[in-house]
């Protein structure tokens, strides 16, 4: 879904209720796992940056939801992602149970370890 939203809350408001129900808990998990990350809309999707680097991003696609995280994080969390449809830095899923908020929080925390000496 391409969005013209200017903020993450506006993006969530524009989603159909079923997609909002999937994405809202993930947004909250990201905010909790990385409270000092800068939240914005980049590439027309909710994006979080920390230490100048992209930490992660989310997007509602036509047939699935995408969660974007670094390849390095993918490799380190292969056990968590083994049953999911993954690209180089993208995790695609259709149901909330496939990538629950606790899993997203774990991925974000692993990614934070790779963003430099700063701690979030």
- What is the CATH architecture assignment of 8-113? Alpha-Beta Complex (3.90)
In percent, the amount of the chain with pLDDT more than 90 equals 78
pTM: 0.91
Residue 106 CA to residue 95 CA, distance in Å, equals 18
User: Would you state the structure tokens that stand for residue 6, as one six-digit string?
Assistant: 């200017």
pLDDT band at 118 (very low <50, low <70, confident <90, very high): very low
∠ CA 95-101-22, rounded to 5° = 35
The residue extents of the domains of the chain are: 8-113
pLDDT band at 114 (very low <50, low <70, confident <90, very high): confident
List phi, psi (to 5°) of 69: -150, 160
User: Would you state the structure tokens that stand for residue 83, as one six-digit string?
Assistant: 């049953």
In Å, what is the CA distance from 109 to each residue of 7, 29, 84?
23, 10, 19
Q: What is the mean pLDDT of residues 46-62?
A: 94
Residue 13 CA to residue 9 CA, distance in Å, equals 6
């Amino acid at each position: 879904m391409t969005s013209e939203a200017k903020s993450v809350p506006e993006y969530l408001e524009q989603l159909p209720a079923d997609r909002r129900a999937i994405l809202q808990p993930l947004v909250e998990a990201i905010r909790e796992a990385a409270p000092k990350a800068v939240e914005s809309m980049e590439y027309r999707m909710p994006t979080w940056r920390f230490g100048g680097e992209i930490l992660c991003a989310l997007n509602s696609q036509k047939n699935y939801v995408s969660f974007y995280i670094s390849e390095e994080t993918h490799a380190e969390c292969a056990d968590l992602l083994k049953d999911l449809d993954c690209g180089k830095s993208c995790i695609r899923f259709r149901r909330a149970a496939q990538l629950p908020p606790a899993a997203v929080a774990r991925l974000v925390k692993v990614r934070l370890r790779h963003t430099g000496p700063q701690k979030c």
